[in-house]
Amino acid sequence: MTIETIGVVGLGNMGLGMAAVLARKGFAVSGYDISEARRAAVEGEGVRFSSSLTDLLGTSDALVFSLPLARDVEAVVTTPGGLLERRDRRIVVVDTSTSDPGTSRRLAGRLAEAGHALLDAPVSGGPSGAAQGTLTMMVGGAAEDYALAAPVLAAMSARAVHVGPSGAGNIVKLVNNLLVAAHLVTTGEAMRLSEAAGLSAREAVAVVNAATGRSAISDVMFPRWILPGTFDSGFSAGLMRKDVRLALELAAESGLDLPLSAHVGAIWEETRERIPDAADFTRMADYRD
């Protein structure tokens, strides 16, 4: 079964880049967003802006979701007259949103009953990775659905790893982002220590990146967004707070006590006034504060 037309639901920082990449890779791409203001940017990338979500859901061979919250994903999947009522072909939904595993499994079950498939496929790489088609994707779902979606995944990513059954993609993304949240706190504190002790953060991080304390925070985020003070990665503090909350909820559901992770979550919540949800998440590591 070939995939020629792709509908992208959610045309924000990530969704717009993914839609543009898919169009450049030869797919006929339509996009939908609740904001009509996204039309000009989308059409400038060769993507048709659909004013009707129902039309998009009813005419695409495959769908890509890029939405903020699990409830947004559920609302799109259950749209009246949409996916759950289609019977003309098997539709694979590639949900790149960071959601909770339970919601992904439940929605995958509902779509399976209608003859369709849901892959939970959260991504790493940010808006630049989305725009360049170099994302890393962590994919949960059935192997046959992963194979069906392979052309779409290959177009959007440098690497799309099938990590397990439905929900597995979101599990590993929450694990990853919990680590990122912690590393931002600890690396920021370490650089504040270096500055207070008389060595600049720029000099310290250069050494750390050649030693065992390095991470993506020190190696990529510090030189790109934190040392220059631009803080424009394109990922908000509010979204990171959401991901940390989901990770800690998953820990509680799994019967785990994670004291350090819980403290990291508390730090992210307590800094909301200094680093509002709309701010870039890299501000958490600002050693100048």
Name the domain boundary from 115, 133, 165.
Answer: 165
pLDDT of residue 267: 98
pLDDT of residue 51: 86
Domain check: are 126 and 40 in the same one? yes
Domain check: are 35 and 135 in the same one? yes
Task: Kindly tell me the burial class for residue 74, based on how many C-beta atoms sit within 10 Å of its own C-beta (0-12, 13-18, 19 or more).
Answer: middle
pLDDT of residue 5: 97
Residue 121 to residue 118: CA distance in whole angstroms: 9
Domain check: are 192 and 251 in the same one? yes
How confident is the prediction along the chain (289 residues), in pLDDT tens digits per residue? 799 999 999 999 899 999 999 999 999 999 999 998 888 888 889 999 998 999 999 999 999 999 999 999 999 999 999 999 999 999 999 999 999 999 999 999 999 999 999 999 999 999 999 999 999 999 999 999 999 999 999 999 999 999 999 999 999 999 999 999 999 999 999 999 999 999 999 999 999 999 999 999 999 999 999 999 999 999 999 999 999 999 999 999 999 999 999 999 999 999 999 999 999 999 999 999 7
CATH code, domain carrying 143: 3.40.50.720
Domain check: are 30 and 139 in the same one? yes
pLDDT of residue 38: 87
pLDDT of residue 197: 98
Domain check: are 274 and 185 in the same one? yes
Domain check: are 18 and 45 in the same one? yes
Name the domain boundary from 116, 140, 165.
Answer: 165
Domain check: are 179 and 56 in the same one? no
CATH code, domain carrying 221: 1.10.1040.10
Q: How many domains does the chain have?
A: 2
pLDDT of residue 69: 92
State how far the alpha carbon of 231 is from the alpha carbons of 8, 235, 244, 266, in Å: 27, 10, 20, 22
Query: How many of the other CB atoms lie within 10 Å of CB of 141?
Result: 29
CA nearest to 193, candidates 213, 177, 179: 213
Catalytic residues: 173
State how far the alpha carbon of 96 is from the alpha carbons of 70, 131, 189, in Å: 11, 14, 31
Name the domain boundary from 165, 196, 228.
Answer: 165
Domain check: are 82 and 185 in the same one? no
Domain check: are 13 and 121 in the same one? yes
Domain check: are 96 and 142 in the same one? yes
pLDDT of residue 133: 96
Range of the domain at 81: 5-165
The half-sphere exposure of 268 on its side-chain side, counting CA atoms within 13 A, is 32
pLDDT of residue 256: 97
Domain check: are 138 and 183 in the same one? no
Domain check: are 36 and 95 in the same one? yes
SS3 sequence of the chain: CCCCEEEEECCCHHHHHHHHHHHHCCCEEEEECCCHHHHHHHHCCCCEECCCHHHHHHHCCEEEECCCCHHHHHHHHCCCCCHHHCCCCCCEEEECCCCCHHHHHHHHHHHHHCCCEEEECCEECHHHHHHHCCEEEEEECCHHHHHHCHHHHHHHEEEEEEEECCCHHHHHHHHHHHHHHHHHHHHHHHHHHHHHHCCCHHHHHHHHCCCCCCCHHHHHHHHHHHCCCCCCCCCEHHHHHHHHHHHHHHHHHCCCCCHHHHHHHHHHHHCCCCCCCCCEHHHHHCCCC
